[in-house]
A = this chain, B = another copy of it.
């Protein structure tokens, strides 16, 4: 198996292979960057395992996987009675949601599939037609995500000129979505248009998504990438080695405060100090209408083991405790703008955020 990379074509993280029986095929992100392995997923339990092992990760990608995953609940039972089909869909959805309980997109996609199944039952659909209509719904989730990524890319590409140098953090790329990514989408669109783009990618301890995933997907797509330790980002900004920062977001408050992977905030601090614009790329679904400001966002603390070692190898003495917050909060005032599928929002433009959320 080769990586099958083509210049400027981001990798496709998930695809559905028609059957019978149909199967979901994932790039196994636990094997990257050493091996490019496509993982066939044929049952709900196999997908639960893939989700829990982080073989597939990134909120949008998880949502797309969940859509197809619900469908896997019907595998081998494509011709069953509609009431049994709905029961199978509900069971698959419930099982998937438990796989990663905090992943909002997972629950959202699973519920969307259940609602579609309920409507199909009401419409009298059955057998193959029921299955195909549900497959269309899962394809819809995937293609909407793909389109949203492209829209963000087309909005964000206006920030890039030929020869631009960009700093990014963690992996907010194709591997995290059903499309060309969030933070990396403007870069892929720029590359399609023949602009030369150079990317500095932080390695992103503790889980090294930058080293393992971002550098892999950019290199494979023919985009020049230079890996740096997280702690060298400030030096890169201090020396003017990059023109702008592009990062993703896990949640954005109504006031524009941005919650993202730990290490984002110190990059924003250094960008502000050195007058380098700091942009966030995220779909409108990332904005949380129930969160007024960043301080209200609960920050997940993950296991000490991620900090006291790597890939099963210990680096710190036994018994040393670690503090391992998964995210940090960057104040809206440090954000030059937020690139969304509906256009660019100036950092901290609460009125515009409220207007866009109201329209959803």
**A residues at B contact (CB < 8 Å):** 32-34, 200, 202-206, 208, 211-212, 215-216, 219-220, 225-236, 238, 262-263, 265-266, 269-270, 273, 299, 304, 307-308, 310-311, 313-325, 328-329
Contact = CB atoms under 8 A, between A and B. Distances in A.
Nearest to A225: B320
Contacts of A317: 32-33, 215-216, 219-220
B311 A227 contact: no
A269 B234 contact: yes
Given A227-B320, A307-B228, A324-B228, A266 B233 contact: yes
B266 A211 contact: no
Contacts of A304: 227
Nearest to A318: B33
A319 B5 CA distance: 15
Contacts of A324: 228-229, 232
Given A200-B323, A212-B315, A227 B263 contact: no
A266 B273 CA distance: 10
B315 A208 contact: yes
30 contacts: A33-B314, A33-B316, A33-B318, A200-B323, A202-B231, A204-B231, A211-B316, A212-B315, A215-B316, A215-B317, A216-B316, A219-B319, A225-B321, A226-B322, A227-B307, A227-B316, A228-B324, A230-B263, A232-B324, A232-B328, A233-B266, A235-B265, A235-B325, A238-B328, A266-B266, A269-B270, A269-B273, A311-B313, A311-B315, A313-B313
Contacts of A315: 33, 203, 208, 211-212, 310-311
B316 A313 contact: no
Contacts of A230: 205, 229-231, 263
A263 B205 contact: no
Contacts of A270: 265-266, 269
Contacts of A215: 316-317, 320
A219 B311 contact: no
A239 to B, nearest CB: 9
Contacts of A226: 320-323
A230 B169 CA distance: 14
A304 B227 CA distance: 9
